[in-house]
Structure 1
């Protein structure tokens, strides 16, 4: 009990529910941890300690209201929180205080979770490196000179250091998966609609999804159960009630392994770590086969839809940062013919992958093409001597998967010789979120990589 902050969320919930630990004690342990660690990591950018302590006291005086009763949680600074500053990582909204909670916040509160604060993100979640002009950069807990990834980098770093046991995030091009890989935690990009995200401007947009992050797959599953569920304000919300698969393990499953998703450049250090994953699944009784994939149609589809979305969502704003502005300008150039091409490419790829998942239960591949890079480097510009055309190109291993409408988890897979975390990506058929989590749990339990804590704070 001396390290409450590194208990699992499942353990924390049990201790509070059974009266072995008070919600106030649990929250105070995390506030102490934030005071110790956050000044160097810069993951929690808005802390609501007094408000959280009051909520914890109310939780202690009440009967448990849900599976997360008394468990602290942090929200990404893209998520609206009533009465709590929400900047979207942009100086344009540095003083913004929303009047209502987003749906994922309401659902976490209904499950009994206690909001402790907001986590850092790049401006409007633009890019897989968490730095902005409002709060600066979030640093990787395993090497403070490295990036924590993004755009849910604050969430991942807070989880890795024990500042929170659960955190929400969002993912368009890898923003739940990339920071999980960089910080040795777990993140799930759910099937679009599994966690609804009602929108007044882009209600039918399926590339961006909210989702859970945690330190263990069991905690990820617990959190997903709290935030998943139908909402009529989202036109593609899934009506099926999410439930974990009752079976355990992967024996007899058909696992496809792609070391580079069809020819993408992968840093040798990342490649060496992820190449150990197939043998783990074979030892667990799965049938593993290396496959030659061609996901290249995802490139144009993703870039066209993303650009269109940025022009739609942020085109009326002035004073945007360079990455957001770059996306908006490209969105203004998108034509009807471009959107038609993107729709054809994505539809054809979806049907080909449907056939693929008739043969295989899951696909495993690298999450990111590189390990964590220097924190003062804006983005990765070269991999294995191959120059990259722009700041997006190094994220293809994640954003090509986004186009598939599929659930994808990042699970710790090991470390580079320098001690930098690397994750493996587990991708399933659309709507098979429970299957992905079952496979992720088996890998996690077999390897134990997620138990390795950041060396500075252990």
Structure 2
């Protein structure tokens, strides 16, 4: 049963088509697995198992009919949807008790396309309140834990999606990413997480108007992430920001020999845990073994990057929303949501304008590096993961002996939301002594999805992939 739960999505589809596995059997395995592990990890908010089973039976009939024309690209695959993306007729709470009764009358474009392609939404996954934190803990849904070590969190804000995939309770999962919310938990839970260029995947309002914000897949393999991208990307009539061109990710790529890779361990100023450092260096050696030219670079970035990002967050819907709710709902809000509201209240217009100056300077540094390189690599997070009970306002939080901010001081992701047209994929780089996975980010030139997928696929094949029997969490 557990082996079924860790099939890749592409493997499951192949077995469906060969009539060696039924969508009903796969969903039943996920439901049984969820009943066994959910009390330990708490990745799901609402579940729709009965509705999902009816859809799985209908998908089974399509496969049994032998009519290939009736089969859609994701026919019968159970997909867990982050509780920050609309699903028609279902509630979306954004992890907040304030929105516990918020039911949507339409689906966001990404979810609409997944369901239109035959995916079955069997569960919603946890997120911090208003997606504000890199720790997945709310008053409404409680604390989500890392399947690899429940003393640690799964990262945020798409923490429930990552925990579900790592625990084997879904085939695919969705995420949103305004500061690393797909990539942070992907790294903490040993997954592939993809932040596409801005507009590649259509999104719902008001997030689609924010250039920092993206939606994308979390998956257990690069091919599974490509499977989702090939379904959801491309212009959507309801998203003014969606790009007209649709990039198709192929099943196979040319070798990466000769690819020029730039790398930085700390982006110029971030403290890095020793195990993360070692895992990143090992991953770089894999690329060297594949014939890539791997060179360390200095981007010249400083902590001003963090201050600029925070100014933008505090100015946009992402940061203003808790402020709007604060007056009448403070007692129902998490401490970090209250802190975000207070930070937003102190923002000046000059802070926002200056943040764009910093963002432009960052891109000039990055563009200079990418003039002579095809790809950029750095760690995804400075630590394997935060402890599950981490105080997100702890003034004494440290990484490798250096004081750091518990929210933004341990992630190297928001920089590439600032450079929002750069595609970025997080892939696993190993596991720490505590069992928690670690990851690296593969960053491509603007709008160059294919180079990122090419490099990630080569790396994945070289290391033998993930979630074999030796990689799975011991739950």
How far does the alpha carbon of each residue in 1:79-127 deviate from its partner, in whole angstroms, 9 at most, with x for none? 1122223221111122332222111111100111001110111111111
Measure, in 1, the Cα distance between the counterparts of 2:174 and 2:168.
Answer: 15
- Partners of 1:266 and 1:313 lie apart in 2 by 32
Equivalent residue, structure 2, for 1:448? 464
Which consecutive residues of structure 2, in runs of 5 or more, have no partner in the other structure?
none
The SS at the match of 1:146 is coil
CA shift for structure 1 position 295:
2.7
Question: TM-score normalised to the size of structure 2?
Answer: 0.91
Correspondence 1:306 to 2:313: yes
The secondary structure found in structure 1 opposite 2:150 is strand
Rounded to whole Å, the distance in 2 between the matches of 1:14 and 1:420 is 31
Confirm whether residue 66 of structure 1 aligns to residue 79 of structure 2: no
Q: CA deviation at 1:275?
A: 1.5
Counterparts of 1:17-416 in structure 2 under 5 Å? 17-62=17-62, 64-199=70-205, 201=206, 203-244=208-249, 247-296=253-302, 297-309=304-316, 310-318=318-326, 319=329, 320-379=333-392, 381-388=397-404, 390-405=405-420, 406-416=422-432
Do the aligned partners of residues 275 and 237 (structure 1) sit closer, same or farther apart at CA in structure 2, a change above 3 Å counting? same
State the alpha-carbon separation in 2 of the partners of residues 258 and 361 from structure 1. 14
Q: Cα distance, 1:2 vs. partner? A: 7.0
CA drift of 1:172 comes to 1.2
> Deviation digits for residues 10-57 of structure 1, max 9, x if unmatched?
011122234332221221111111112111111122111001011112
CA 1:391–1:270: 2 relative to 1, 3 Å: same
What's the Cα RMSD here? 1.9
User: Which residue of structure 1 lines up, in the alignment, with residue 16 of structure 2?
Assistant: 16
- Provide the aligned length of Structure 1 versus Structure 2: 455
Q: Distance in 2 between matches of 1:236 and 1:418?
A: 42
Supply the distance in 2 between the matched residues of 1:295 and 1:402 (Cα, whole angstroms).
Answer: 15
How much does 1:354 deviate? 2.4
- Tell me if the contact between 1:42 and 1:154 (Cα under 8 Å) persists in the aligned partners: yes
Q: Give per-residue Cα distances to partners, 1:328-348, cap 9 Å, x unaligned.
A: 222233232222211222123
CA distance in 2, matches of 1:232, 1:324: 33
Rounded to whole Å, the distance in 1 between the matches of 2:106 and 2:391 is 33
Which 4+ residue blocks in structure 1 deviate beyond 4 angstroms? Answer: none
Question: Cα distance 1:317–1:375, how it changes in 2: closer, same or farther (>3 A)?
Answer: same
Shift of 1:364: 0.7
Instruction: Give the direction of change, closer, same or farther, for the CA distance of 1:2–1:196 in structure 2 (3 Å limit).
Output: closer
Q: 1:104 to 1:121 in 2, by over 3 A?
A: same
Q: Is the 8 A contact 2:79 2:122 kept in 1?
A: yes
Residue 431 of structure 1, aligned match among 431, 447, 452: 447
Instruction: Tell me by how many angstroms 1:290 deviates.
Output: 0.9
TM superposition score normalised by structure 1: 0.94
CA distance in structure 2 between the aligned counterparts of 1:411 and 1:301, rounded to whole angstroms: 27
CA contact (8 A) 1:65 1:110 kept: no
Could you tell me whether the CA contact under 8 Å between 2:179 and 2:414 is conserved in 1? yes
Shift of 1:195: 0.9
1:159/1:202 Cα in 2 relative to 1: closer, same or farther (>3 Å)? Answer: closer
- The answer to whether the 8 A contact 2:221-2:465 is kept is no
Alpha-carbon distance in 2 for matches of 1:372, 1:3: 26
CA distance in 2, matches of 1:368, 1:347: 23
- Contact 1:413–1:449 under 8 Å retained in 2: no
Counterparts of 2:207 and 2:107 in 1: how far apart (Å)?
18
> Following the alignment from structure 1 to structure 2, what is the Cα–Cα distance between the partners of residues 433 and 4?
30
The change in CA–CA distance for 1:311 and 1:161 in structure 2 (over 3 A counts) is closer
Q: Distance in 1 between matches of 2:80 and 2:310?
A: 30
Q: Deviations over 1:366-392 (max 9, x none)?
A: 10001123211134721122222x443
